[in-house]
Amino acid sequence: MTAGTTSLLAYIPSPPQGVWYVGPLALRAYALFIIIGIVVAIVWGDRRWVARGGDKGTVLDVAVWAVPFGLIGGRLYHVITDAPTYFGEGGNPVDAVKIWQGGLGIWGAVLLGGVGAWIACRRRGIPLPAFGDAVAPPILLAQAIGRIGNYFNQELYGRETTLPWGLEIYQRVDANGRVDSLAGVSTGLVERVVHPTFLYELLWNVVVVVLLVIVDRRFRLGHGRVFALYVAGYCAGRFVIELMRTDYATLIGGIRVNSFTSGIVFLLAAAYVVLARKGREDPATLATTDRTPVEPEDTDGDRTGSDDTVTAGAAPESSGEQKAGPHKSGQQESSTQEPS
């Protein structure tokens, strides 16, 4: 690339830094955008869950379990697939726990995050597949927002390019003048111009989010099929984008491990979409039921026997009254419109 050619192109500049210090406190753009993404996913996900027949506040309750599990799973996947970076020659094993430096594998996050969600859904007595359908588009939107953090970190970019939307990667140094591409400040020196693959993924995620909402409304999908479509759609884009990246990654047969993962997970998700039960769950089945047994005390202060145990949300069968199940009001059942 000649100097004359460079001057004619309007490349995308990288931010001068991704970390700001307020005294000893480090404010990291990467963490900020992850937090914003989580908040957006919880707020929008709750609206979608209520529109499908669930109880307000359920998504936040499930997120208390799913988010920590997801962060741990995402970091574990990253560390395992990039093990030489932390445990190989010149690596520092302590860096494996420094999640604020970047490095979360989405498949590990979805896997363990799903385990956390399953635990929370079991505790609340709601079906996990239906919950996954409600939160799938918001989760993918959160992933798109999180990619902005990669922009500030100058990471997850592709090979060099002369395209007008190429991304300028700056040299960054710390206060002592040592090169620090993560926490340093730009010197203004452009080291190279590359494909902004993080931006490609961000845009692809937004496209898939829109398609998921449209398809879900048009065909009234349920039983986990929206979530499976989210996984398949994301993997399809990620497979292509991985082929454009040049940053370090573990290779299998000369192919990046994330490409293998994308392909395998895509096939599994596509199979689920085809084989899963059609239609959508009855809204009455999505209401929260507390499965924790409550044992009221008798007048003497002793616990009553097991025959007197009352489960919240269920009326005594001997009363002759209609059993109270996870039933929603007629007004809520008739709701078919979901927020976009």
Integer CA distances (angstroms), 15 to 113, 114, 170, 197, 257, in order: 31, 34, 9, 16, 29
Q: Which two tokens stand for residue 41?
A: 């996913």
Over residues 167-174, the mean pLDDT reads 95
DSSP E strand boundaries for the chain? 12-13, 19-22, 25-28, 167-173, 185-194, 251-252, 255-256, 293-294, 310-311
Q: CA end-to-end span of the chain, whole Å?
A: 44
Percent of the chain that is helix, strand, coil (3-state, to 5): 55, 10, 35
- The answer to whether the CB of 314 falls within 8 A of the CB of 287 is no
Q: Which pLDDT does position 184 carry in this prediction?
A: 93
Residue matched to tokens 């984008």: 241
Q: What is the pLDDT of residues 273-327, one digit of tens each?
A: 999 999 999 999 998 876 544 454 444 444 444 444 444 444 444 444 444 444 4
pLDDT tens by residue, 94-149: 888 887 766 788 889 999 999 999 999 999 999 999 999 999 999 999 999 999 99
Average pLDDT over residues 59-72: 96
Can you tell me whether residue 182 is helix, strand or coil?
A: coil
Burial class (CB in 10 A: 0-12, 13-18, 19+), 117: buried
Q: Is it the case that residue 14 has pLDDT exceeding 50?
A: yes
Q: How far is CA 44 from CA 32, 53, 140, 185, 272, in A?
A: 18, 15, 12, 35, 25
pTM score:
0.81
Using CA atoms, how far apart are residues 183 and 102, in angstroms rounded to an integer?
A: 11
Distance of CA 262 to the CA centre of its chain: 15
Residue 313 confidence (pLDDT): 42
- Give the SS3 label for residue 259: helix
Question: What is the pLDDT of the chain when averaged over all its residues?
Answer: 85
What's the CA gap between 75 and 104, in Å, rounded? Answer: 5
Q: Give the Cβ contact number of residue 10 at 10 Å.
A: 8
Q: Contact at 8 Å (CB) between 45 and 320? A: no
User: How does DSSP classify residue 270?
Assistant: H
Once rounded to an integer, what is the mean pLDDT over residues 2-15? 66
Q: What are phi and psi of 194, to 5 degrees?
A: -130, 165
Give, in degrees to the nearest 5, the angle at Cα 209 between 50 and 257: 120
pLDDT digits (tens, 9 = 90+) for 79-96: 988 888 888 887 888 888
Tokens of 103: 């490095």
* β-strand pairing of 251-252 with 255-256: antiparallel
Stated as kind and residue range, the H or E segment containing 204 is helix 197-219
